[in-house]
Amino acid sequence: MRIDELILYRGLEQEPVLRDAARLMKAGRQDQLKEKEADKARIRLYRIMHGLVELAEESGFYGSLWHCYLTNLLVNHENSYSRSREIRGAVSSSINVAALHDFEIFRGLFDYDFRPLAQRLGVLEFESVLSFSAGSEKSRIYNRRIRDRICTLAGQLAETSTAQEMMDAVTRFYGEYGVGRFGLHKAFRVHEKDGEVMILPIRNILHVHLDDLIGYEAAKQKLVENTEAFVSGRPANNCLLYGDAGTGKSSSIKAIANQYYDRGLRIIEIYRHQFRNLNEVISQVKGRNYRFIIYMDDLSFEEFETEYKYLKAVIEGGLEKKPENVLIYATSNRRHLVRESFKDRENSFDKHGGDTVQEKLSLAARFGLSIYFGKPEFDEYQEIVAALAERSGIEMEREALRSEATRWQMRHGGLSGRTAQQFIDQLLGQQQT
CATH number for the domain harbouring residue 342: 3.40.50.300
| pLDDT, average across residues 52-63 | 93
Q: Are 274 and 303 in contact (CB under 8 A)?
A: no
Which of residues 40 and 66 earns the better pLDDT score? 66
Same domain, 210 and 264: yes
Same domain, 343 and 394: no
Q: Are 324 and 288 in contact (CB under 8 A)?
A: no
pLDDT of 350 strictly over 60: no
Which of residues 55 and 215 earns the better pLDDT score? 55
Compute the chain's Rg from CA coordinates: 27
Residue 352: per-residue pLDDT: 43
Same domain, 253 and 289: yes
Torsion from C-alpha of 30, 35, 38, 40, nearest 10 degrees: -120
pLDDT of 425 strictly over 50: yes
Same domain, 43 and 90: yes
Edge-to-edge strand ranges of the sheet holding 187-193? 196-201, 187-193, 265-269, 291-296, 326-332, 239-243, 369-373
- Which of 34-43, 185-194, 345-354, 415-424 shows the lowest per-residue confidence on average (mean pLDDT)? 345-354
Q: Are 339 and 303 in contact (CB under 8 A)?
A: yes
CA-to-CA separations, 21 to 25, 179, 260, in angstroms, rounded: 6, 24, 39
Q: What is the pTM of this model?
A: 0.79
| pLDDT, average across residues 92-119 | 93
Same domain, 419 and 319: no
Contacts 24+ apart (CB under 8 A), 384-387: 384/214, 384/215, 384/417, 384/420, 385/420, 385/423, 385/424, 387/214
Residue 272: per-residue pLDDT: 84
| pLDDT, average across residues 312-331 | 76
Same domain, 360 and 395: no
- Which of 237-241, 360-364, 385-389 shows the lowest per-residue confidence on average (mean pLDDT)? 360-364
Same domain, 400 and 313: no
| pLDDT, average across residues 243-252 | 86
Residue 212: per-residue pLDDT: 79
- Which of 23-37, 193-207, 260-274, 402-416 shows the lowest per-residue confidence on average (mean pLDDT)? 23-37
Q: Are 333 and 418 in contact (CB under 8 A)?
A: no
Residue 355: per-residue pLDDT: 47
Q: Is 331 helix (H, G, I), strand (E, B) or coil?
A: strand
Same domain, 108 and 172: yes
Q: How far is CA 103 from the centre of its chain?
A: 28
| pLDDT, average across residues 78-105 | 88
Residue 305: per-residue pLDDT: 60
Print the domain residue range for 176.
Answer: 3-184
Average pLDDT of the chain is 85
Same domain, 344 and 404: no
Same domain, 173 and 198: no
Residue 342: per-residue pLDDT: 44
Same domain, 164 and 301: no
Q: Which residues pair with 266 in a beta bridge?
A: 292
**Boundary-marking domain end, from 341, 373, 405:** 373
DSSP characters for 86-124? TTT-----THHHHHHHHHHHHHHHHH---HHHHHHHT-G
